[in-house]
């Protein structure tokens, strides 16, 4: 089990996808995403969400991501945040979504 103090260390924020492109260099199918986190700036990530999402459907979509992990090198790309989703059958990832629009950069509590 983790403590409440452990949970508070995980910085989850809402952001809006600005750009999505193919990431052919990744070992597993993925997109490169640029996400606007408001006051935190624009961050890049790699997301294995190609089974359920088209690139054009991701642009302007709000997502939730952990923004305080250290950067991770994936092939020739540095991923700065971890977009959160539910892992379904056959490792299909369903993104966590808001039911109302929120300001970019707001913290998830």
Tell me what pLDDT residue 89 has.
87
Q: Is residue 100 part of a domain?
A: no
Q: Is residue 20 part of a domain?
A: yes
Residue 56 backbone dihedrals phi, psi, to 5 degrees:
-65, -25
Q: Is residue 32 part of a domain?
A: yes
pLDDT in tens, 19-68: 999 999 999 999 999 999 999 999 999 999 999 999 999 999 999 999 99
Q: Please give the residue range of the domain that contains residue 17.
A: 4-95
pTM (predicted TM-score) = 0.94
The residues facing 107 across adjacent strands are 13
Q: Is residue 36 part of a domain?
A: yes
Whose tokens are 């629009």? That residue is: 101
Q: What is the mean pLDDT of the chain?
A: 96
The CATH number given to whatever domain includes residue 62 is: 2.40.50.140
Tell me what pLDDT residue 46 has.
97
Instruction: Name the residue among 15, 11, 9, 10 with its Cα closest to residue 39.
Output: 15
Look at residue 91 and tell me whether its pLDDT is greater than 90: no
């Amino acid at each position: 089990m983790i403590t409440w103090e452990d949970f508070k260390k995980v910085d989850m924020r809402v952001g809006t996808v600005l750009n999505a492109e193919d990431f052919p260099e990744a070992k597993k199918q993925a997109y490169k995403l640029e996400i606007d986190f408001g006051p935190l700036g624009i961050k890049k990530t790699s997301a294995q969400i190609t089974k359920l999402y088209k690139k054009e459907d991701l642009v302007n979509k709000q997502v939730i991501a952990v923004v305080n992990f250290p950067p991770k090198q994936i092939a020739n790309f540095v991923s700065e945040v971890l977009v959160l989703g539910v892992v379904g059958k056959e490792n299909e990832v369903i993104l966590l979504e808001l039911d109302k629009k929120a300001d970019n950069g707001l913290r998830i509590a």
